Amino acid sequence: MRVSLSNAWEVIELKCTEIGPDTSLLGVLGENIKYTLSPKIHNFAFERLGIRAVYVTFDVPRERFQRAFPGLLEFAYGLNVTIPYKESVIPFLDSLSPEAEKVGAVNTIHGGRGYNTDYLAVKGLVSGVERGTALILGAGGAAKAASFALGELGFEIIVQNRTETRGMELVSRLREEGISASFSRACQGDYNVVVNTIPEPEAVPLECVRGKIAIEFVYKEETPFLRRARELGMRVVDGLQILVRQAMEAEKIWFGKSLNDIEVVNFLNAGK
């Protein structure tokens, strides 16, 4: 297991309370996630909210996950979970929140209970949008969260994924919950919302980017998906907005309070 502590020292730079025996340890679990902004976001929030905690990166290779994760559950006050472990962590947990149980994916953990703040983020960011069709690109944990969130808001869900079997599994889960859903191998017409959860930019079918709103889960860079959406004059919800919103929902789960999204986004942009 590789544990990155470099971001932890940002807490000290932010003049946070001295780290001591009563400091809570939190972090994000994933594989090959040195790029993650989560430590920067949460350590900033802890400092501003006066919380005695530190947040680090748990970069765990897949072959070590089965051994590493039970230990993390024991000593971490709270965790975020990202690719490729949003589904793998579920058997280790004591319980799931209603939204995590429906979605079948977890990205936040506290007290042995799994939550899905991706779901909460999407639902909050698109509430009030005109209902219609929503195209979901991908069928992993983020795609599941977006599909259920939009489906429960009244959108008809269309799933497009390279592996049809996995795409149809998501469609079946949505239908079981009474959500109108179908699988499509190609783009057809315009959509009210297009959501990209595919991490590899070259694998995203840009011909599908058309409609009113584009939601991008990838936040490492200005993606071709986002550029195409902006060229077409679509309203854009970028990966940073999603990341910050779900992070603040996680803060509420862990500590019962959070910062305003705009304050966090401004902090991140100032550091570019």
Catalytic residue set: 86
Burial 145-159 (b: 16+ CB within 10 A, else e): bbbbbbbbbebbbbb
**3-state SS class at 109:** strand
Name the 3-class secondary structure at 220. Answer: coil
Q: First CA to last CA across the chain, in angstroms?
A: 29
Residue 174 contacts residue 181 (beta carbons within 8 Å) = yes
Strands (E), the chain: 2-4, 24-30, 53-59, 78-81, 95-96, 108-110, 113-115, 133-137, 156-160, 181-183, 191-196, 211-216, 235-237
137 and 195 in contact (C-beta within 8 Å)?
A: yes
